[in-house]
Amino acid sequence: MIPAQPDHDRRQRLLQDLAAISAWDSMEAQHLRETAAWISSGAPLDRIAFDVPDPHLVAYFIVADPDREELLLGHHIKSGLRLPAGG
């Protein structure tokens, strides 16, 4: 089991991980900026109830077929969106 990091260290690691992402387009670049601002704000990151806090930190993974240039997306029932797998 990984020991829990102090909140500041966790936020710094998340910000480092975000900085390593190269945005594919202007929308993703905006999302990266908004996410960095949210993490830096000190707001809660993890869900403690169904909709608290909103937003909340999630992790997705992408199943991609580079030859066909396709991604596998699932239907997220609560949001009504097509999203990569994760939670």
pTM of this prediction?
0.67
33-85 per-position pLDDT tens digit: 999 999 999 988 888 887 777 788 788 888 999 999 999 999 988 889 998 88
pLDDT at 34: 95
Tell me how far the alpha carbon of residue 23 is from its chain's centroid: 13
Residue 49: beta bridge partners? 52
Kindly state the DSSP code that residue 44 receives in the 8-state scheme.
-
Longest dimension (CA), the chain: 43
pLDDT at 1: 45
Closest CA to 31 of 23, 42, 39: 23
- Rounded average pLDDT over 7-14: 92
